[in-house]
């Protein structure tokens, strides 16, 4: 099943970042986008995740053009079917870990997954304030918060950047297991070559073009 499709995307700020970018994500599939810093990888991810509109081109989610959706329809899809894990954790700093997870649980109607927390190694942090956690712990909590709502597409930007190698490998496994078990899809932006090569498809964003390298 086709989950995401992008046709001829182009975008620029002061200068053109990329043009005529097209890709497709299917069920149980993972896509990695690599490239130098400043090449436009995160901007492309934001467009695919509907956080940003492209200057040109179309994004389709679950077979429907995003530009044809009402604000309410798009918001429902974002809330129930899209999950975003970015470098900035966007956790509520004044709340505990459990409260942060409960917000996601209430919005999605899904229970907090204690086994997921255990697999991420943060099951003992529930009563702690977010500000008491390390950067790596906050990253893992942000991952747990996203996967709690069981999204059909996860958009991931440098998820292992603040993690040690062992934890990073565990997080990679969690993402890939999730994609397979939940029949979801993943679009990943990373500088981690090993993580990228474990994905089904790898693109490189270079010289304003998206080129498939795997």
- Tens of pLDDT, residue by residue over 43-75, are 999 999 999 999 999 999 999 999 999 999 999
pLDDT at 172: 92
pLDDT at 213: 97
pLDDT at 109: 84
pLDDT band at 164 (very low <50, low <70, confident <90, very high): confident
pLDDT at 156: 95
What secondary structure, in 3-state letters, does the chain show?
Answer: CEEEEEEEEEEECCCEEEEEEEEEEECCEEEEEECCCCCCHHHHHHHHCCCCCCCEEEEEECCEEHHHCCHHHHHHHHHHHEEEECCCCCCCCCCEHHHHHHHHHHHHCCCCCHHHHHHHCCCCCCCCEHHHCCHHHHHHHHHHHHHHCCCCEEEEECCCCCCCHHHHHHHHHHHHHHHHHCCCEEEEECCCHHHHHCCCEEEEEECCEEEECC
Across the chain, what does the average pLDDT equal? 92
Q: Which residues contact 62 (CB under 8 A, 6 or more apart)?
A: 2, 3, 77, 81, 152
- Tens of pLDDT, residue by residue over 193-203, are 999 999 999 99
Question: In angstroms, what CA-CA distances link 175 with 8, 28, 38, 94, 157?
Answer: 28, 11, 25, 28, 12
Residue 143: name the closest of 134, 155, 131 by CA.
155
For residue 162, pLDDT over 80 is answered with no
For residue 9, pLDDT over 80 is answered with yes
Q: Which domains does the chain have, with CATH numbers?
A: 2-87+151-212 (3.40.50.300)
Q: Which residues contact 63 (CB under 8 A, 6 or more apart)?
A: 2
pLDDT band at 170 (very low <50, low <70, confident <90, very high): confident
- Tens of pLDDT, residue by residue over 80-100, are 999 999 877 788 888 999 999
Residue 144: name the closest of 89, 199, 189, 107 by CA.
89
pLDDT at 113: 87
For residue 207, pLDDT over 80 is answered with yes
pLDDT at 43: 96
Stretch 136-145: mean pLDDT: 88
């Amino acid at each position: 099943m086709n989950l995401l499709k992008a046709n001829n995307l182009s975008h620029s700020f002061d200068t053109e970042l990329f043009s005529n970018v097209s890709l497709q994500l299917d069920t149980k599939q993972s896509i990695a986008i690599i490239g130098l810093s400043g090449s436009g990888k995160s901007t492309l991810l934001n467009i695919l995740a509907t956080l940003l509109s492209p200057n040109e081109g179309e994004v389709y989610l679950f077979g429907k053009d995003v530009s044809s959706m009402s604000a309410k329809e798009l918001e429902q899809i974002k809330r129930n079917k899209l999950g975003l894990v970015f470098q900035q954790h966007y956790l509520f700093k004044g709340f505990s870990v459990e409260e942060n997870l409960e917000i996601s649980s209430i919005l999605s109607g899904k229970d907090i997954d204690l086994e997921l927390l255990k697999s991420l190694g943060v099951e003992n942090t529930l009563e702690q304030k977010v500000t008491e956690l390390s950067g790596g712990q906050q990253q893992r909590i942000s991952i747990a918060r996203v996967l709690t709502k069981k999204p059909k597409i996860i958009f991931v930007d440098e998820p292992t950047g603040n993690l040690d190698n062992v934890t990073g490998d565990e997080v990679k496994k969690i993402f890939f297991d999730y994609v397979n078990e939940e029949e979801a899809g993943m679009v990943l932006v990373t500088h981690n070559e090993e993580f990228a090569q474990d994905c089904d498809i790898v693109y490189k964003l270079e010289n304003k073009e998206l080129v498939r390298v795997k």
